[in-house]
Amino acid sequence: GAVVSQHPSWVICKSGTSVKIECRSLDFQATTMFWYRQFPKQSLMLMATSNEGSKATYEQGVEKDKFLINHASLTLSTLTVTSAHPEDSSFYICSGGVTTQYFGPGTRLLVL
C-alpha cells in the first residue's frame, strides 16, 4: 500500500505557541490529502480537505484561521495549529492515496 509519513510524531508546546505538522506522501502524488483529529477513545473526525495548489476546505466548526493548511506540492501538506491552547491537545492524522486512503502514523500534540 501507499506510504504516508508525518512529522513530528509527538510535540509538547506552551499555550499560545504555533505548531506545524508535516504530512508527506512517499510513493505517490497526492492532489488531495485529509486531516483528521482524534480525541482519546473517540473516532477520527475530519477537520479539512487539503487541495494541492488551492485553498483547503474546512469542515463545519473547524476554525480555518486557527488550523492553517498548506498543500504546496503533490507530496507535502502541512497543518499549523496557531496559538495553540490545551483544548487543542489531540492526535492529528493525515491521509491520502490513489485508489484508496492510507493514513500517516499520526502526531500527538500536547499543549501545556
Chain residues that interact with other proteins, rule: CB under 8 A: 1-2, 4, 6, 28, 30-34, 41-46, 49, 91, 93, 95-106, 108
Distance of closest approach, residue 27 Cβ to other proteins, in angstroms: 12
Q: Are 52 and 71 in contact (CB under 8 A)?
A: yes
Distance of closest approach, residue 83 Cβ to other proteins, in angstroms: 26
Query: Can you tell me the distance from the alpha carbon of 31 to that of 51, in angstroms, rounded to the nearest whole number?
Result: 6
Residue 8 or 105 having the CB closest to other proteins: 105
Q: Which of 34, 43, 48 is nearest to 97 (CA)?
A: 34
Residue 66 or 108 having the CB closest to other proteins: 108
Residue 20 or 28 having the CB closest to other proteins: 28
Query: Can you tell me the distance from the alpha carbon of 48 to that of 88, in angstroms, rounded to the nearest whole number?
Result: 15
Alpha-carbon 28 to chain mean position: 18
